Amino acid sequence: MNSNQIKPLFICGCMRTGTTILQRILCSSKDLGNMKGECVWITYQLNTFQTLSDQFPSKLGDYFKNEQEYEDYTKKV
């Protein structure tokens, strides 16, 4: 499969709406290949983002006054 054929699929929903069973069905398909790895990868990325966003003041507080100043800086770069 070339990169033109790869299309991301995000499964989102409230609890108890069937998203887990849908994810398990899709990940069990042999046709999806690497999706099993993607299931683990996206969970890791989301957990990392949450952890880092909770730690923003202690990690970037020495460099920026607040999150808005940081966002303004990243827009310039």
Give the model confidence (pLDDT) of 22-54 as tens digits: 878 887 777 765 555 566 777 788 888 888 777
Contact by Cβ (8 Å): 26, 32: yes
Question: What residue type is 29 in one-letter code?
Answer: S
Distances (CA, A) of 17 to 10, 25, 47: 15, 14, 22
Please give the Cα distance from 2 to 36 (Å, whole number). Answer: 18
Instruction: Please tell me the predicted confidence (pLDDT) of residue 19.
Output: 85
Instruction: Please tell me the predicted confidence (pLDDT) of residue 2.
Output: 58
